[in-house]
């Protein structure tokens, strides 16, 4: 069953941030889509069998913190 998890990532400010977060999250198993909105600082991750801890770790790997 497909699910969507939204994270607030206040440290993102530019296209580089967006690309880094998208790249890390997209590499995880089960992730089918990543939407980053720099204006609201929100990251929406869609897919199947999403692992909250793994998603948060990927955001941290990109250099940001999921609030």
What is the per-residue pLDDT for 1?
A: 77
What is the per-residue pLDDT for 24?
A: 98
User: pLDDT truncated to tens, each residue of the chain (67 aa)?
Assistant: 799 999 999 999 999 999 999 999 999 999 999 999 999 999 999 999 999 999 999 999 999 999 8
- Look at the chain and report how many structural domains it folds into: 1
Q: Are 45 and 34 in contact (CB under 8 A)?
A: yes
Locate all alpha helices (DSSP H) within the chain, ordered by sequence: 15-26, 52-61
Domain-embedded: residue 20: yes
Domain-embedded: residue 29: yes
Domain-embedded: residue 67: no
What is the per-residue pLDDT for 6?
A: 98
The CATH number covering residue 14 comes to 3.30.70.100
Backbone angles phi, psi at 36, to 5 degrees: -115, 125
**Which domain range does residue 8 map to?**
2-61
Confidence (pTM) = 0.94
Domain-embedded: residue 25: yes
Neighbours of 56 (CB within 10 A): 14
């Amino acid at each position: 069953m497909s699910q969507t998890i939204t994270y607030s990532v206040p440290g993102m400010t530019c296209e580089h941030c967006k690309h880094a977060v998208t790249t890390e999250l997209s590499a995880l198993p089960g992730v089918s889509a990543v939407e980053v909105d720099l204006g609201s600082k929100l990251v929406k991750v869609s897919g199947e069998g999403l692992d909250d801890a793994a998603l948060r770790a990927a955001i941290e790997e990109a250099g940001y913190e999921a609030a």
